[in-house]
Structure 1
């Protein structure tokens, strides 16, 4: 299909230069319809995480496999790297707390910072928002904790991004911790602790202790979202034998 060519540098975080050798797509421009299709694919995936992962977080994992498969495909790469930046840019808008944004759920600006969506003339309900964040937290883990150790393809979004996102949340000052952060954090960890441990070993155990024991313990106000982190720590001990306390 013929379409106007565009400069992919307009859609990636860091500018890329030619010279990655034979077998890579080094062209200065790509068909705009290709960029558009990656954009539509990314939107569909995020909506799938929200609509299915919110109710059943475990359904996010096979969707993450599809994302990793598409964005690791060499034919879909450009100048030696994936175009997953298109997907991540949309994720940053949908779930800002993964990228270091904070805010109070009691203020208009705070809700905007946390990715709380409007429904008609007002904000969507709290439960709907939390379900949305659950799906997005699980979806992020499903994409960022893929193991490419036995694959010839390049991992488009390595586990270091998961580590960074988790660190951004747990390093939040106590007075600024939000329920949204806690819901996203729990969804990132539940069902993915094994993949996290495989990626980081003992360092992951220390990170999980910080996230599920120390982080909720220093919050000034206790809520269901905060308590759910401590409950998850207890479940991991009972069901997985992982002692964090």
Structure 2
């Protein structure tokens, strides 16, 4: 039996519709498997007509018979144990091969002709068996497929539930961690806020106390300034200034006689101790930076070194005298090049004078010896003695130093002096002791130079005034307000105008500083950092 697969359907996709016959296929020619279906093409199979058995049947030639015997039809069709495989016999004999371990069903009763004929089965029976086999196979496949689908769904559902469970655990853990971190951050913020409020309250209390103390101090300073301004030139007693100058000059001789020389005669152990202290103290001043922390470290170290000598009064004064010399030397070397470096040096000097009151007299003697401008002293420099009194130095060839070098040194030393005068005392010490060099010393410096005779004024005076202006004019103005404005205007305008014909460079710069103050305000040194 043979049929073409295309014949199973009414219309092929590749066929031309117009070329097909529209007549309904004859039931005698085809069998319709899905006759009642309306949505899909009907499946038709060609009907197998019974052959009239005759006494003689066609026999296959030997080659065809051999090929048929070699075919494995079970591999081509679904396995159905109930379907027999029929192989036509050769040489007038029939041969019938039945599937292993199976017997033909009762519906497949063979109709055998005489010897040499072919065993035939009804095509309807074969079709029915094939249909039943296919349906059974499809049903089994559907059952197996459904079972597999259900198994996959079950496994997928379990995996999804497991994934959700793990995600839920991770989410809860993350929430716990987040909650704990949030609580810790909130606690930290509360602590910081409490600390900030406490510090703010302490700072405000400190500022209020400082403000009250500053107001009291300003009232005293204002009374002093107003009295000096009222009396005018009469308050500048140049004879008293000269007397002060010679007092400090004599102090230098006294230091040499009563401190320096006797130390040379002390025992070896004491001299070695002093020498070791000198070597440790000397580099400290060069180690100062713009850091308050570094300043505190150096200050503590110096306090320790000086305190070690207090048991020996002579060694103690010798160390303080050495510190005074080192401070002045640092101001005329480093500060002359970098004026803002005077701020940490001035803070250290003020702390040392507060802790060791004897240092003030020693330091002022060193200052007046090298820079008498700090007390407003001026003398004629036309003579050798005059130049020596005003702090001029001789070079290695015994010639006086250049004027530029002299002016720079004077400016550096006045800068340190001015910064010290405008620094406030530590809050805890305001009620315990007086400032060793209060800002009234700056007022005296300006007023005495402003009242100096015009024939004694040189470029150095205006260089000194410019250096002072950079170092302390801002705080001076804050302290004395309107009275400060009058004095600043006096030295910046009137005094510079009085020497306009001399064309002093220092006077020109001082006038520029005054004009900047009138246009954009007074500028000061940058504050130190923590």
Inter-partner Cα distance in structure 2 for 1:183 and 1:132: 10
CA drift at 1:129: 1.0
Residues in 2 aligned to 1:199 and 1:161: alpha-carbon distance in whole angstroms: 13
Residue 68 of structure 1 pairs with residue 345 of structure 2: no
Residue matched to 1:115: 391
CA distance in structure 1 between the aligned counterparts of 2:522 and 2:364, rounded to whole angstroms:
34
**For 1:207, which of 481, 487, 493 is the aligned residue?**
487
Question: Within 5 A, what are the aligned runs for 1:84-123?
Answer: 84-105=360-381, 107-120=383-396, 121-123=398-400
1:152 partnered with 2:429: yes
Does residue 1:240 correspond to 2:521, yes or no? Answer: yes
Instruction: Give the distance between the partners of 1:151 and 1:168, measured in 2 at CA.
Output: 33
Structure with more contact order per residue of length (Cα contacts < 8 Å, sep ≥ 6) = 1
Of residues 200, 207, 229, the one that matches 2:510 is: 229
Name which of 417, 422, 429 aligns with 1:140. 417
Contact 2:334–2:341, Cα closer than 8 Å, also in 1: yes
* Residue from 453, 456, 467 that aligns with 1:173: 453
Map Cα deviations across residues 207-243 of structure 1 (whole Å, 9 max, x no partner): 111111111111252211121111111222333179x
1 CA distance for matches of 2:343 and 2:449?
Answer: 22
Deviation per CA, 1:69-109: give whole Å up to 9, x if none: 11112xx23xxxx5411111110011112223324455434
Residue of structure 1 aligned with 2:496, choices 185, 210, 216: 216
Post-superposition offset of 1:195: 1.4
2-structure distance, mates of 1:142, 1:90: 17
The answer to whether the Cα contact below 8 Å between 2:459 and 2:507 also exists between their aligned partners in 1 is: yes
The answer for unaligned runs of 5 or more in structure 2 is 1-253, 256-310, 524-530
Q: Which has the higher helix share?
A: 2
Deviations 1:136-193 (A, max 9, x none): 1111101122112734153221111121122111111112211111111111111321
**Residue 188 (1) aligns with residue 468 (2):** yes
CA distance in 2, matches of 1:200, 1:30: 43
The equivalences for 1:7-46 within 5 A come to 31-46=313-328
CA contact (8 A) 2:369 2:389 kept: no
Unaligned runs of 5+ in 1: 1-9, 12-28
Structure 2 match to 1:130 = 407
Cα distance change of structure 1 residues 56 and 238 upon mapping to structure 2, 3 Å threshold: farther
Q: Kindly tell me: are residues 57 and 30 of structure 1, through their superposed partners in 2, closer, same or farther at Cα, counting changes over 3 Å?
A: same
Any conservation in 1 of the 2:411–2:467 contact (CA below 8 Å)? yes
Q: Which residue does 1:3 correspond to in 2? A: none
TM-score by length of 1: 0.78
The whole-number CA distance in structure 1 between the counterparts of 2:410 and 2:520 is 25
Greater CA radius of gyration, 1 or 2? 2
CA distance, structure 1, for counterparts of residue 374 and residue 456 of structure 2: 15
Work out whether residues 94 and 115 of structure 1, in 8 Å CA contact, stay in contact via their aligned partners in 2.
yes
SS where residue 181 of structure 1 aligns?
helix
Equivalent residue of 1:119, what SS? coil
Alignment partners' CA distance in 2, 1:148 and 1:200: 17
Q: Distance in 2 between matches of 1:123 and 1:241?
A: 36
Local SS of the residue matching 2:427? coil
- The residue matched to 2:460 in structure 1 has which SS? helix
